[in-house]
Structure 1
Amino acid sequence: MESSGSLENVDSRVPELNINEEERSDEIKKEEELSVEQIFAKKEVPSWKKQLTIRAFVVSFVLSVMFSFIVMKLNLTVGIIPSLNVSAGLLGFFFVKTWTKLLERSGLLKQPFTRQENTVIQTCVVAASGIAFSGGFGSYLFAMSERVVKQSEKTQDGLEYKNPELGWIIGFLFVVSFLGLFSLVPLRKIMIVDFKLTYPSGTATAHLINSFHTPEGAKLAKKQVRELGKFLSFSFLWSFFQWFFTATDDCGFQKFPTFGLKAFEYKFYFDFSATYVGVGMICPHIVNVSVLIGGILSWGIMLPLIETRKGHWYTDLDPDSMQGLKGYTVFIAIALILGDGLYSFAKVLTQTMADLHKKIRNRKAMPLPVSEHSSPVTKTLSYDDQCRTQLFLKDQIPTWLAIGGYIAIASVSTATLPHIFHQLKWYHIIVIYTFAPVLAFCNAFGCGLTDWSLASTYGKLAIFTIGAWAGASHGGVLAGLAACGVMMNIVSTASDLMQDFKTGYMTLASPRSMFVSQGIGTAMGCVISPCVFWIFYKAFPDLGMQSSEYPAPFASIYYNMAKLGVEGFSALPKECLKLCYAFFAAAILINIIRDALGKKRSWFIPLPMAMAIPFFLGSYFAIDMCIGSLILYIWQKRNKAGADAFAPAVASGLICGDGIWALPSSILALAGIKPPICMKFLSRSLNSKVDGYLGS
């Protein structure tokens, strides 16, 4: 799951490595000096068909189910999703290596496990679990549901919504998720070979997989898997133990008033979540601190001040009403998101266009251009680059297949989507599909330069443009949300594929095997993710409610964003517009200051996108994440080599164990089995009243 250097967007995935770009590039240079391909020179590279093995896809399916539960749980809780590339590559290596060792001992092994097959597994798993994010189960898709719509509206009559159903969700994902695979395939050589785009996440994943298949790397991988398994077991058992104390709402360790009952009232407490501690260990320190600063600013300062204006600014005391306190938190969060997103969009687009112009100019000036079918061997290419370029250009994906596939799927999608969303007209879809390849290229190119994917920003652009075009009287809110899903899936999948092509390029995996594994993984995700979401949806009747264990915060934010785009500022509570202007400008100003100071001096400037998250949810998960960040910081101070080697595995274990518990807890909820104990905390005065009542 590719990501930005900090946050792809507030509802996005964060990088899997806790190192900055300079450190990462230095490590890549050192690796290149060692000539990776000379180490693997004696190992035969299997054909693209042999890279696609049955065992690879069996392992991919199992891991895809596990990671889909993890991503879905994070989607429906805080919306911060760490990259699981390391976990996918590591567990894929472990499972297949164990499989092949057993077969080797029994004399039945026909094909050894290669780094190319490992790349296929990682690609397939990330593609499948990525649908749990781009499918909008915690954002635009669930934002259409009755639960979310009724929370955001004053009147409950004549509301337009579309409740989730397994059939139409799977159909929707199948007709929109594959377009991104075909949109940029003809440009793969230009992006990877000619322009030599870095794609830091794809490059880092490739180095990880390459290292696994060396003797030293295999030993380290075994130790990493052991640590991952140890903390996965601990996290799972800890979640199981906590379940016994959650008989009703507001019970259990998750409601522990760590800093006192008054702080708990304003959502400042440690909720003993292994998942958030693990996420904090993977996220860069600035992300965790930014989230905490956002929590202090919102629930510690701003909301108590707004409460003093009760009766003047607002009169609705319903905690779920958008005309009460919740309206201020949601719309100010939207202002921060839009301000940061607009700045990031302008910055990355400007950088993309400038760098694209430079690379095209340099390419024209090259005395020996690289042809489509040549095997370039020039003085400027290292031995590794020669091997990689030769194999990358060997197995071509026909251009006619890419263009024909895009047109065919777009035609089917244009005919199908208006039947799923009658508010979204065929001409809306044609306009989206006309501009989508250009936007997908801009996003993939920018991601190759900066590791910053703006898929959700392009989705928000579709919300406002299509929603306003459709109009309030013709279901503009739902049309905008549906258009967001169409655009976001295309742009996100195209960027994913280019990352995978870069990983495949550096592991000598065939572009054809990458394309096929991405396609199979996408197909898996189109079925697995809706089924996983359906389990959550049926198991937890309060899913999407702010007081729920799974509040799905971005569903409400996306709905109100679409409503704002269609109805204008009339959707805002009193005086909220002025606050939104201030926070929108502040987000842009903070980003300008960060860029002006540079990477080395901007480490103490918070990220506006990360600050926006606790406005809606509170600071409890920020405290968990900061504890994870503190653990990593102390570990790095005491043993930096050990922390760099094992911290991602430990964090992944904490996240995976708690995420896996979501499946048995959902089954228990569906079966009507409730925990036996309620552990609740009361003030001394209230406890005295309860004792007196029980005594009487």
Structure 2
Amino acid sequence: MYFGRIYSFDITQRFFWKLKMMNNTLVEAMDVEKKTIHHQKEEMIEREDLEELQKAAEVQRRLQPWKKQITVRGVIVSVFIGSIYSIITMKLALTAGINPHLNVSAALLAFIIVRTWTKLVRKVGLVSVPFTPQENTMIQTCAVACYSIALGGGFSSYMLALSKKTYEQTGVTTEGNPPGSYKEPGVGWMTGYLFAVCFIGLFVLIPLRKILIIDYKLTFPSGTATAILINGFHSMDDKMAKKQVRGFTKMFSLSFLWGFFQWFYSGQGLGECGFSKFPTFGLQAQRQTFYFDFSFTYVGTGMICPHVVNLSMLLGSVLSWGIMWPLIKKQKGHWFPEEIPEVSMRSLNGYKVFIPIALLLGDGLYNFIKITCITVSSMYVKFKGRKISSEESNNNDAIDNRTRDEVFIRENIPMWIAACGYISLAVVSAITIPLIFPALKWYYVVVAYICAPALAFCNAYGAGLTDLNMGYNYGKVGLFLIAALVGKEHGVVAGLAGAGLMKSVISVSCVLMQDFKTGHLTSTSPRAMFLSQAIGTATGCVVAPLIFFLFYKAFDVGNPNGEFKAPYGIIYRNMAILGVEGFSALPRYCLDLCYGFFALAVGINIVKDLSPARIGKWMPVPMAVALPFLVGAYVAIDMCIGSLVVFVWHKLNSKKAELMVPAVASGLICGEGLWVLPASILALAKVKPPICMKFLAS
């Protein structure tokens, strides 16, 4: 009986054991089937991606008409990217005065968004038009044209210099700064002024585009680099593209959340609380602006900018805030009166403003003369029939170049469009600009537009050879000339408005030529490029004033002790006063120091150009040295950390760094830069951070 029980229990055990084994086998079979199905799905997606790339390559070979190169999704994406980058560039311009080139970043972001878009549409079951390099180029062109208005529209320089706050900071009692010589920012007049001065730049050099790009074979380094990267995006392995997307997404999320986290500790918006005032090197160093302010925007910008620019800024920080300003401050009562407030131009602030002006003018004047000489000599050689570019190294390159040239010439923009557009817009500007700025008479506008085509051609030719857009320097020349001609009563306002007019026409035409070079190398139609540039410019003329006004109302823009210092505003105002008054506006010994730093800027450039490459590459950039003189050292520290990250990354894995640095840097810049938008809305709604994190001496 006992044995029978044991036997029956054993049978029962075996039954359940077999049942368990069958269940495990079934589960394993189901897992294998699931993995197989998942693997098949991945292979299907990869095949679809490969088919999409093949379709895109086929479309590229067949080259669609220019009307089909401009798509609805492309316009939507470009307006979105342009608006985001307008916020980012506006923040950079109003805080540190930095103007980084984000062309590559815009092209990468366009590639990420549209590729993600097409995959989502395909998963839903809809058919998507293949994403081609031509569409990528169109989006990049439109987005860059949009944010270029926020970058170069003068919101951080001559427009801000016209404000009442900047007028009061420069001293209302000075002879060249008479009462009422200001114009408060307003969305209406800013938008009208931008439409008047920016659109005309699109028509200046259209008749000369074939001469500059095909006949002279100018390189336009920024345009060429962007084209190479766009072509590379569309020919790279899909796994590499996924890595870039993941890298961008991770850094974007981290940067945005970090900006949100920092907001809680930034106190009542007085600029004295939060992580941005962390005394990294001690309280004494912090008082001299030497600290790391935990800004991912500047770290990402430092990853994009060349090492020499970041190190030049660090050198300028040590030279100014580490040595000069503490020593000059001790001369209070000797070099300048004790009772004068520090914001006055006849006190320490005068040295902080005019010495960097001397560096900027020295660097700008040297490069202006240098580019003019290079342009004249190169044009002379070209007209004499010599070749300024080397022959193609092989037949394939020659065939590719001939194909690109044919596309570039075939999609011609009629001469009458350029002539009618330029003349009609010049007439409109001559009528409307004096209505906005009565001090700037119509005949000054007419003379400026008569001279603009020749100056724009010289600037574009020089940029094609050296990648230096000298529009700002032409604007400064116009500022001094008009301010001096108009006189003391209205010279400041007229000079600032005239500077914006000259700079906008010359700079916009140069940017268009760089984009034409990108379109030439990606076989994009010039008509599509021109229309994309026009759409982006129109969008920027509307978006940029709104963004600036958001910053202007939400933050204390122009406060020398706040976050949004906007250094170029007070610099441009004082340049106009200098053009009216002469050197009598400077405090004691300031002129001598200005002479010295002007000579230093010229000397550095001469040594850089004449010395061997191994020495010249280590020479500082005077314009970068000048930036921290008024802003502070913290920006240079942030950007040098970005340089350090890139340097170490290249040492550890150079191939991965070359692939991922643009994506990571773009994510860092976009994330924290986009947080400014909700932060501005909170500030306008008078919602203040709950905590003030501040550090005091023990």
TM over 0.5: yes
Q: 2:616 maps to what in 1?
A: 602
1:260 aligns with 2:282: yes
Q: 1:146 aligns with which of 145, 152, 164?
A: 164
Q: 1:310 aligns with which of 323, 327, 332?
A: 332
CA displacement, residues 125-159 of structure 1 (integer Å, 9 cap, x when unaligned): 00000000111111111110001110111539824
- SS, match of residue 76 in structure 1: helix
Which structure 1 segments of 5+ residues have no match?
Answer: 1-35, 367-377, 685-696
Report if the CA contact (8 A) 2:57-2:132 is conserved: no
Q: 2:584 aligns with which of 570, 574, 583?
A: 570
Deviation at 1:477, TM superposition (A): 0.7
Deviation at 1:379, TM superposition (A): 7.7
Q: 2:8 maps to what in 1?
A: none
In 2, the alpha carbon distance for the partners of 1:681 and 1:581 equals: 40
Q: 1:647 maps to what in 2?
A: 661
Q: 1:339 maps to what in 2?
A: 362
Deviation at 1:40, TM superposition (A): 6.0
Q: 1:444 maps to what in 2?
A: 460
Report if the CA contact (8 A) 1:145-1:164 is conserved: yes
In 1, the alpha carbon distance for the partners of 2:681 and 2:287 equals: 31
Distance 1:42 1:590, change over 3 A: closer
Distance 1:232 1:365, change over 3 A: closer
1:236 aligns with 2:256: yes
Report if the CA contact (8 A) 1:395-1:512 is conserved: yes
Q: Which amino acid aligns with 1:607?
A: V
Distance 1:679 1:516, change over 3 A: same
Which structure 2 segments of 5+ residues have no match?
Answer: 1-53
Q: Which moved more, 1:99-108 or 1:413-422?
A: 99-108
- SS, match of residue 209 in structure 1: helix
Q: Which amino acid aligns with 1:235?
A: S
CA displacement, residues 218-268 of structure 1 (integer Å, 9 cap, x when unaligned): 442332122111111111111111111111320111111111111111111
Deviation at 1:105, TM superposition (A): 4.1
Deviation at 1:471, TM superposition (A): 0.9
Report if the CA contact (8 A) 2:216-2:388 is conserved: no
In 2, the alpha carbon distance for the partners of 1:361 and 1:480 equals: 40
Q: 1:407 maps to what in 2?
A: 423
Q: 2:229 maps to what in 1?
A: 208
- SS, match of residue 614 in structure 2: coil
In 1, the alpha carbon distance for the partners of 2:342 and 2:141 equals: 43
In 2, the alpha carbon distance for the partners of 1:631 and 1:111 equals: 39
In 2, the alpha carbon distance for the partners of 1:182 and 1:320 equals: 43
Greater C-alpha radius of gyration: 2
- SS, match of residue 62 in structure 2: coil
In 2, the alpha carbon distance for the partners of 1:257 and 1:42 equals: 55
- SS, match of residue 393 in structure 1: helix
Distance 1:314 1:176, change over 3 A: same
Q: 2:377 maps to what in 1?
A: 354
1:196 aligns with 2:217: yes
Deviation at 1:297, TM superposition (A): 0.7
- SS, match of residue 627 in structure 2: helix
Q: 1:434 maps to what in 2?
A: 450
Q: What's the % identity of the aligned pairs?
A: 55
Report if the CA contact (8 A) 2:480-2:495 is conserved: yes
- SS, match of residue 620 in structure 2: coil
Deviation at 1:500, TM superposition (A): 0.7
CA displacement, residues 314-346 of structure 1 (integer Å, 9 cap, x when unaligned): 124523221111110100010000011000111
- SS, match of residue 616 in structure 2: coil
1:227 aligns with 2:244: no
In 2, the alpha carbon distance for the partners of 1:294 and 1:432 equals: 35
Distance 1:47 1:544, change over 3 A: same
Report if the CA contact (8 A) 2:60-2:132 is conserved: no
Q: Which amino acid aligns with 1:73?
A: K
Deviation at 1:112, TM superposition (A): 1.9
- SS, match of residue 323 in structure 2: helix
CA displacement, residues 26-69 of structure 1 (integer Å, 9 cap, x when unaligned): xxxxxxxxxx9x97687421100001111100111111111000
1:72 aligns with 2:99: no
Q: Which amino acid aligns with 1:362?
A: G
1:54 aligns with 2:62: no
Q: Which amino acid aligns with 1:327?
A: G
Q: 2:314 maps to what in 1?
A: 292
Q: 1:515 aligns with which of 496, 514, 530?
A: 530
Deviation at 1:596, TM superposition (A): 1.4
Q: Which amino acid aligns with 1:325?
A: L
- SS, match of residue 130 in structure 1: helix
Q: 2:39 maps to what in 1?
A: none
Q: Which moved more, 1:599-608 or 1:509-518?
A: 599-608
In 2, the alpha carbon distance for the partners of 1:228 and 1:380 equals: 35
Deviation at 1:107, TM superposition (A): 4.7
CA displacement, residues 406-428 of structure 1 (integer Å, 9 cap, x when unaligned): 00000000000000001101111
Q: Which moved more, 1:634-643 or 1:354-363?
A: 354-363
Q: Which amino acid aligns with 2:311?
A: V
Report if the CA contact (8 A) 2:167-2:182 is conserved: yes
Q: Return the TM-score normalized by structure 2.
A: 0.88
Distance 1:568 1:382, change over 3 A: same
- What does 1:413-562 correspond to in 2, within 5 Å? 413-473=429-489, 475-540=490-555, 542-562=556-576
Deviation at 1:600, TM superposition (A): 2.6
Q: Return the TM-score normalized by structure 1.
A: 0.89
Report if the CA contact (8 A) 1:134-1:485 is conserved: no
Report if the CA contact (8 A) 1:322-1:573 is conserved: yes
1:611 aligns with 2:625: yes
Distance 1:410 1:363, change over 3 A: farther
